[in-house]
Amino acid sequence: MFWKVSPGLGILVGIVVSQAAAADVFSEDLVDNGKFEEGFTFWNGSNVNDSNLDDQYPIDGDFVTLGQYSQTQAISQTIVVPDNAGLITLSFWYRLYTSDTTANDTFTITFTKNDTGEVLVSDTIPASDGAVTDWEKYTLDAGAVSGETVTLTLAVKNDAALFTFTDVDTIRLKAQSYGELLGTVVGASGTKLRNADITIRTPKNQKVWTGKTNSQGKFTAPLLPGKAGKYKVIIKKSGETLTGRAKITWAEQTKKTFIFSNL
């Protein structure tokens, strides 16, 4: 179970849970058959068929080619995104071949809500940006789709003039949970310190979690975003204060022991 941070509060204040009750962290790819090794299984297509698939010099598996004169060719897949995913990233490899110097031909990536059709995330690569003849990796922040059932669509639109087509391979939608800090607070002799007050701040000093150690001197702080720097862990017990540091990474549990040398 993950706890949600209330909007506008910027702080998670919770009852300390035991390590056994801590939420599972995860990192998973939500796209099925993103390398097209099973043809179009799990994919829906518009104006495409098996002739759009190729296995000559892919990144991995097979790849799909989208693009035809005077029409839009597209592939789509319905995806259920966990609501406790903190970092969601779409990635794929692509090549784009074009003679179009205008913005008439486009390669578009969209996430739409299944129940309402609302576009949650969208990006367009116009042909006028120029050809990409070597495989190039594309990434897109898709955090807005957390907790939604969405349709991911990749589409290439052509007019009746100059031709544009795009090769796409190894499509992934990587969902990663927030990180967790599993801490233990002990005295100089190794005694577990219960009911110690814990405050956790980001590398930019924003308070994000408070709580207390349990009877075993342990605390579990969930819902911590991965950061480049280290979180500050401020521990108070019997009038004494200890400030420690802990590096938190997306989709990982960090275990650390904090020692009060004067208790």
Domain boundary among 115, 147, 176: 176
Which residue segment(s) compose the domain that 42 sits in? 27-176
Q: Give the lowest-confidence range in 34-48, 95-109, 139-153, 187-201.
A: 95-109
Q: Is the dihedral of CA 177, 168, 145, 78 positive or negative?
A: negative
Which residues are within 8 A (CB) of 31 and not within 5 positions of it... i.e. 6 or more apart? Answer: 77, 79, 152, 171, 172, 173
For position 82, which CATH number holds? 2.60.120.260
Q: What is the pLDDT of residues 179-200, one digit of tens each?
A: 999 999 999 999 999 999 999 9
Q: How many domains does the chain have?
A: 2
Res. 5: pLDDT tops 60: no
Q: What is the pLDDT of residues 14-39, one digit of tens each?
A: 333 333 334 578 999 999 999 999 99
Residues 171 and 185 placed together within one structural domain of the fold: no
For 127, list phi and psi in degrees, rounded to 5: -60, -25
**Residue 4 domain-assigned (yes or no):** no
Six-digit token pair at 43? 């994919």
pTM comes to 0.79
Domain boundary among 130, 145, 176: 176
Q: What is the pLDDT of residues 154-169, one digit of tens each?
A: 999 988 778 899 999 9
Residues 198 and 90 placed together within one structural domain of the fold: no
Res. 1: pLDDT tops 50: no
Which residues are within 8 A (CB) of 245 and not within 5 positions of it... i.e. 6 or more apart? Answer: 230, 231, 232, 233
Neighbouring CB atoms inside 10 A of 231's CB total 22
Average pLDDT over every residue of 251-258: 95
Residues 188 and 164 placed together within one structural domain of the fold: no
Residues 75 and 106 placed together within one structural domain of the fold: yes
**Residue 233 domain-assigned (yes or no):** yes
Contact 86, 225 (CB under 8 A): yes
Q: What does the pLDDT read at residue 170?
A: 98
Whole-number Å distance between alpha carbons of 136 and 132: 7
